[in-house]
A and B are shown apart, each in its own frame.
Chain A
Amino acid sequence: MSVPLRRIDEVTWEIPLGARPGMRVPARLIADAQLVEALAGDGSLEQLANVASLPGIVEPAMAMPDIHQGYGFPVGAVAATGMEDGVVSPGGVGYDINCGVRLLALDVSADELGPSLGRLMDELARSVPSGTGRGGRRRLDGRDLDGVLREGAAYAVGELGLGEEDDLEHTESGGRLPGADPSRVSARARDRGADQLGSMGSGNHFLELQRVERVEDAAAAGAFGLREGQVAAMIHTGSRGLGHQVCTDYVRSMEPRLEGWGIRLPDRQLACAPISSPEGADYLAAMACAANFAWANRQAIAHQVRRAAGQALGRPGGSAVRQVYDVAHNVAKLEEHGGRRLCVHRKGATRAFGPGRGSELPAAVAGVGQPVFIPGSMGTGSWVLCGQDRSDELSFGTACHGAGRRLSRTQARRQVSGQEVRRRLEEAGIAVRAASARGLAEEAPFAYKEVDRVVDLVHRAGIARRVARLVPIGVVKG
């Protein structure tokens, strides 16, 4: 089924109102002709048009150039709904609630680290477990789990001793969403999360050591504390099984209630509840808990990176590692836009506030815009951007979140083995520590779109500006 798409300007396309039955607002996409062509047949534009049918959605439903087919929402989508007449959709946040990216700057150049890289990679692979059945994690008791769910990274730093106060200043929302209520999180979700703090998970999650290949905006890079040649550590993970179960629970409980609320949807996975209903409030309270768990999780992993890097560099105590920022890319947040308070769903999309919202950013970056991290594939590169004020006008203060998949996992596996991916990466000078050969094949670099093209589009759209390009020197995969 095709969806009509008309070009509005060089980088913006629109699915007009009425293109699909039930659409309440038009949908827009930031892309170029080549990316649009690549979307043919993958279902993501139909999914975007479906998002435009959510009750109370505010114009427009928006997609970023890393859009690809998901479930319910496409990945790379933004939907804002009104607080009075709108809905909150667990599927619009996704199962990996507050999946996100944290960037740490190491006070060392890649050349200086060189001889210690292998040892540091071994230690990172040992101390940051990827998932089930692989030890090294602490099991949180009920009190600590409640604390993490309520206070997120702040609890990890203040009560668990995992990091520094300065980390919280350099984390979106201070690493803690307000309104979290652990009593809205099921026993099953707690069971899944209790022993997962400090673990990375599988799939596209990773921990990378990277080298700042080039700086394109010296002022912003300076504000972020980044310089050419420097080593950085990028952490990509989320709320693990706890968040997955929160989404499962609330999709399950909301879907049978839709008829009673008079809500008709083109896809069951868009299941939602009026924000003003008790069910909507319960989900937001549980989602905030899962988001907080994710921030504490990245905090715990950052603590391990800091410890391992301190050992490798002969500077224990954490002085060798400073947090640049931490961003969420699967979350629903209550924000002011255009004078209205809205529930902004970001599904595979990153908040990208410009200097105009500097009061909501750390003081050091308030004048240049929020740091935004766009990981590419593990063989190519990643970008640091800074949010621009135009993002508020175009996309509810939102940019893309990654390169976006081009090939399915099965297609990738058919084309290459995990061993071959490892060989190619090592030939390119990238150290690899991977728990699963199959996982390596599924995440092969060619399975992703070109991150430079995706970033160029959000840069040209005025959503977020290029600051620095980073290239991997070591990859730890689940």
Chain B
Amino acid sequence: MSEAGPAAGTASELVEHTGELELRVRGPSLGAVYAEALRALADELVDRRGEGPRERRAVDLSASGPDTLLADLLNEAIFRSETEGFVADDLEVRELAGGRLRGALVGRLHDEARPVVKAATYHRLQARRDGDGWVAGVVLDV
């Protein structure tokens, strides 16, 4: 499996937050925003990308809206990282509509993933359309 990299027009940044990590993401589609959020999370969990084969973990999540779905997706990735050492840095989307996401987390197994991120919180959580694309924000508890 190859590494596709982020879609054009996708970007993320960490904004200043004294106690935690606050992530802002933008991209051309909601799926691209979710994938970029996973990449940014992976950057916190491992110091460098691993060399091993890329693997998938199926996800099937339902939530009341795209913002809660973002928190659920990141919390799924945090769970996988902590219990398996599987660090997702990309997302395959099969279905993304009506508050449901079906697809797969894509990433690698890491021996040294840092258990530094405890959870994605609901504080200032957002995922919304912005012009032609989407923007999202989430505070990660570290």
Contact = CB atoms under 8 A, between A and B. Distances in A.
A357 interface: no
Interface string A389-425: 0000000000000000111111100000000000000
Nearest to A42: B18
Nearest to B16: A408
B115 A201 contact: yes
Interface string B106-124: 0000111111101101111
Contacts of B21: 409-410
A76 B104 CA distance: 39
A252 to B, nearest CB: 8
B17 A69 contact: yes
Interface string A72-108: 1001000000000000000100111000000000000
A244 interface: yes
A250 to B, nearest CB: 11
A131 B114 contact: yes
A277 interface: no
Interface of chain A, main secondary structure: mixed
B82 A268 contact: no
Given A71-B141, A269-B122, A405 B18 contact: yes
B142 A409 contact: yes
A255 B17 CA distance: 24
A133 B14 contact: no
Contacts of B122: 71-72, 91, 251, 255, 267-269, 271
A69 B115 contact: no
Contacts of B139: 71, 269
A192 B79 contact: yes
A340 interface: no
A132 B114 contact: yes
B75 interface: yes
Contacts of A42: 18
Contacts of B113: 131-133
A354 interface: no
Nearest to A72: B123
A245 interface: yes
Contact of A410 (B16, B75, B114, B119): B16
A350 to B, nearest CB: 17
Nearest to B83: A191
Given A248-B75, A438-B47, A71 B114 contact: no
Nearest to B111: A133
A72 B14 CA distance: 19
B118 A95 contact: yes
B83 A247 contact: no
Contacts of A267: 122-123
A435 B111 CA distance: 13
**Majority SS at the chain B contact face:** loop
Contact of A133 (B64, B112, B125): B112
B114 A408 contact: no
Contacts of A245: 79
A45 to B, nearest CB: 12
Contact of A71 (B75, B82, B121): B121
B142 A203 contact: yes
A342 B40 CA distance: 41
A95 B119 contact: yes
A268 B125 contact: yes
Contacts of A70: 19-20, 123
B85 interface: yes
Interface in A235-272: 240-241, 244-245, 247-248, 251-252, 255-256, 267-269, 271
Interface string A59-75: 00000000011111001
A421 to B, nearest CB: 16
A267 B21 CA distance: 17
A158 to B, nearest CB: 28
Interface string A218-242: 0000000000000000000000110
A175 interface: no
A138 interface: no
Interface in A258-300: 267-269, 271
Q: Which of A132, A407, A438 has the largest count of B CB atoms less than 10 A from its CB?
A: A132
A330 to B, nearest CB: 11
Interface in A409-462: 409-411, 435-439
A269 B123 contact: yes
Interface of B: 14, 16-21, 47, 64, 72, 75, 78-79, 81-83, 85, 110-116, 118-119, 121-125, 139, 141-142
Given A69-B20, A245-B79, A407-B18, 13 more contacts: A71-B19, A71-B123, A75-B19, A91-B122, A132-B85, A133-B85, A203-B142, A241-B82, A244-B118, A251-B121, A256-B64, A410-B16, A478-B114
